[in-house]
Amino acid sequence: MAVLVTGGAGYIGSHMVWALLDAGEDVVVVDRLSTGFRWAVAPDARFYLGDVGDRTILQQIFSENRINAILHFAGSVVVPESVAHPLRYYENNTANTRTLIDEAVAAGIPHMIFSSTAAVYGRQPVAGPVPESGVVSPETPYGLSKLMSEIMLRDTAAAYDFNYVTLRYFNVAGADVQGRTGQSTKGATHLIKVVCEAALGARDHIDVYGTDYPTPDGSGVRDFIHVNDLVEAHLSALTYLRAGGAPLVANCGYGQGFSVLEVLQAVMDIENCDFKVNFCPRRAGDLASVIADARLIGQELGWAPRYNDLNLILRTSLDWERRLLERAGNDLETIYRKLAAGRF
């Protein structure tokens, strides 16, 4: 049996493909390459160029491969962009997921692991780590588009021979500890990627959005999880579903937070560098603090993180960014031209 990874040419998806292959799985990838790269897909995976909202490509994949489970990463993920262009997010994240679920049920595929987000929670009445039972009240189209998909999975599992695990990601960061893949998306807004670019001279400044939050230093606090730990959580979820586990929604984070300013200082310390920081107003949809209550995933899936260390996350990110920059003379536009042309 094979595992289908949607969005397997993207940041998290490409890490997932390597982890599945390392575990001895037969892997199939579908990606439209809007933000991912063909070169990022491990060579032993079978690749299909297409959109998960395209029934024709899905039916072809399901007829040509014996798919037992789907790991669904394909989607749009930029919070401010979702505020500016909500219909794009409801199409790509919600409508396309509905099509994927429908075709999976029709093909008799029993298992799905869904890439959701802590953005489904919104503001909480009580400070501290957010449990899965926390108030679900998304404040952005991004969060709402993911919550709609969670609801579809719940209702589908109640009606058909179909089971799922939804993992609500907090802030995914870092790069493959073996150096095989990393965050390479043009225009990525992930804090750690942007800070690493600045530390290595590819950006001339960093914008910090919001310094008046009710946090120790006024900047936003986030729970950063290493991407290798995240994909290990998916492997645990796959084992759980194949063993007959019940539908599950679980947070995927470490249960501890670091502020934006702490991350900037840590990168400066590691690289022994400095860079310009612009302090800007808060962005729409950003919250003061987002930290996971991560107990449930350990209890239900037996998952335990191996890379819970901010400096390790930053060092793997810097190593990957340095590798990209060395191939393009520290020029971001040159990097992305080469990546798009498959010349990494």
Catalogue the active-site residues.
142
Burial of 299 (0-12, 13-18, 19+ CB in 10 A): exposed
Q: Residue 15: name the closest of 69, 97, 73, 100 by CA.
A: 73
* Measured distance CA(246)–CA(240) in Å, rounded: 8
| Both tokens assigned to 144 | 């709402």
Q: HSE (CB half, 13 Å, CA atoms) of 57?
A: 18
Question: What is the chain's percent helix, strand, coil content, to nearest 5?
Answer: 40, 20, 40
Q: How far apart are CA 182 and CA 11, in angstroms?
A: 6
Closest alpha carbon to 52 in 125, 114, 121: 114
Phi, psi of 166 (to 5 degrees): -105, 125
Name, in order, each residue with C-beta under 8 angstroms of 74's C-beta and a sequence gap of 6 or more.
Answer: 6, 7, 10, 13, 30, 31, 32, 51, 52, 92, 96
